[in-house]
Structure 1
């Protein structure tokens, strides 16, 4: 674990809230010069604390009104079936995240679709035909709240 001082924590929180802020603007907020702020940001990237920036899209406005979380239990377990499943599932464009988990299911998938019938098509034609798929449980997302994460209180 990399040690963060108070300024690093404030910098991470500010970037988490708005990653488009310039080093100069962040520095003015934190009482640092632009070069000092940039060096801190670069160090956060170099140590892997900041892994990148991502674009937050509104799936519904893009025509994808349904999000479903799938719990997938593989029918057969073993290194080969895990790798085959992972390779196949990441190739499905509607699958937004693939998480290998411990518990009742082996994987948790986040799937977006235009509507329920589109989701059914993805489920039947793409997901259920994947290598080693056994049981699948679907949970439809009703609402979502973004949380700031553990650094807020740190």
Structure 2
């Protein structure tokens, strides 16, 4: 594990809030030169601490007004059934995340849909027909607060 100092933590907080910041702006905000900031960002990336940068899209602005978290319990749990389920569920574009979890359910899915009728269509025609699907529990997202990471 790489030792991180206060400047590294400050850089990570800045980039977590806005991954588009240039090294010059990061350096200005943490009192480093652009080359020094760039070297630190490169070192954090090479160490795997910065795993990538991503674009967050606003699902509601794109016409997807409903987000549902599904708990899925598989009827059978062999290695093959898990792999078949993961492969099949990953092919459904409305499924944003697939998390294999320990607990009451085997998987937790984040599903977006245009409205509840659209979600019902995705659930009935796409998800419930997948291999090994047993019980499913749905929780509709009412609101979401973005919280800072562990830094």
TM range (shorter): over 0.9
Matched, 1:38 2:38: yes
Q: Give distance in 2, aligned partners of 1:43 and 1:121.
A: 46
Root mean square deviation of aligned Cα: 0.7
Structure 1: give runs of 5+ residues left out of the alignment.
none
Length, aligned pairs only: 151
Give the CA deviation at 1:21. Answer: 1.1
How far 1:72 sits from its partner (Å)? 0.2
User: Where in structure 1 do 4 or more consecutive aligned residues deviate above 6 Å?
Assistant: none
For 2:149, the equivalent position in structure 1 comes to: 149
Q: Distance in 2 between matches of 1:136 and 1:31?
A: 51
Q: Distance in 1 between matches of 2:124 and 2:29?
A: 52
1:54-107 CA distance string (max 9 Å, x none): 111111110000000000000000100000000000000000000000000000
* Equivalence map 1:101-120=2 (5 Å): 101-120=101-120
Partner of 2:67 in structure 1? 67
CA distance in 1, matches of 2:131, 2:4: 43
- What TM-score, normalized to structure 2? 0.98
Question: 2:77 & 2:31 partners in 1: Cα distance?
Answer: 54
Cα distance in 2 for residues equivalent to 1:28 and 1:53 = 20
Q: Could you list the runs of 5+ residues in structure 2 that have no partner in the other structure?
A: none
Instruction: Please give the alpha-carbon distance, in whole angstroms, between the structure 2 residues aligned to 1:55 and 1:148.
Output: 16
Secondary structure of the equivalent of 1:97?
A: strand
TM-score where L is the length of structure 1: 0.96
Is 1:138 paired with 2:138?
yes
1:128 alignment counterpart:
128
**Aligned mates of 1:141, 1:83 — CA distance in 2:** 28
Q: d(CA) in 1 for partners of 2:19 and 2:147?
A: 16
